[in-house]
């Protein structure tokens, strides 16, 4: 099925279930069964895991799932610009410049300014 496709095209066609389950010794947050919803609690446990164990990679299945969900969410909007309503004056909007993919920097920002929540929203370039 992958004959004639570039490595990038093959990677883009992957679905979470195409990727093996995490190894049995993986101790980070689990997202099983594979169609479990990605919840705020799971994301927060993932953030804590990366803060404590920055050298332990996210299993490929979970990365693929995060990317698939993000892609679906972005495709569901008519335009790439989103209107964000802040419900009340107790809600903070933290604007973060380009982090160049540095997860450690994003985790530091969350540590200093608080994690994303309904009262603490982030706009990341």
pLDDT tens across 27-68, in order? 999 998 888 899 888 988 998 898 898 888 999 999 889 988
- End-to-end alpha-carbon separation of the chain, Å? 37
Do residues 119 and 90 touch, judged by C-beta distance below 8 A? yes
Assess contact for 105 and 54: CB atoms under 8 A.
no
More confident residue, 80 or 39: 39
Host H or E run for residue 122? strand 120-124
What integer pLDDT is reported at residue 59 of this predicted model? 92
How confident is the model at residue 25, as a pLDDT?
Answer: 92
The H-assigned helical ranges of the chain are 7-13, 40-52, 60-75, 103-113
With cut-offs at 50, 70 and 90, classify the pLDDT of residue 2. Answer: low
| pLDDT band, very low/low/confident/very high, at 101 (cuts 50, 70, 90) | confident
Percentage of the chain beyond pLDDT 70 is 97
12-16, 37-41, 68-72: least confidently modelled range: 12-16
């Amino acid at each position: 099925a992958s004959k004639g496709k570039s490595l990038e095209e093959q990677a883009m066609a992957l679905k979470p279930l195409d990727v093996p389950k995490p190894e049995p010794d993986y101790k980070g947050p689990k997202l099983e069964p594979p169609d479990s919803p990605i919840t705020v609690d799971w994301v927060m446990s993932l953030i804590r895991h990366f803060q404590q164990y920055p050298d332990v990679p996210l299993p490929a299945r979970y990365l693929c799932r995060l990317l698939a969900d993000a892609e679906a969410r972005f495709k569901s909007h008519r335009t790439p610009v989103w209107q964000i309503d802040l419900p009340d004056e107790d809600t903070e909007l933290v604007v973060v410049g380009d982090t160049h993919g540095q997860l450690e920097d994003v985790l530091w920002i969350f540590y200093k300014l608080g994690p994303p929540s309904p009262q603490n929203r982030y706009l990341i370039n």
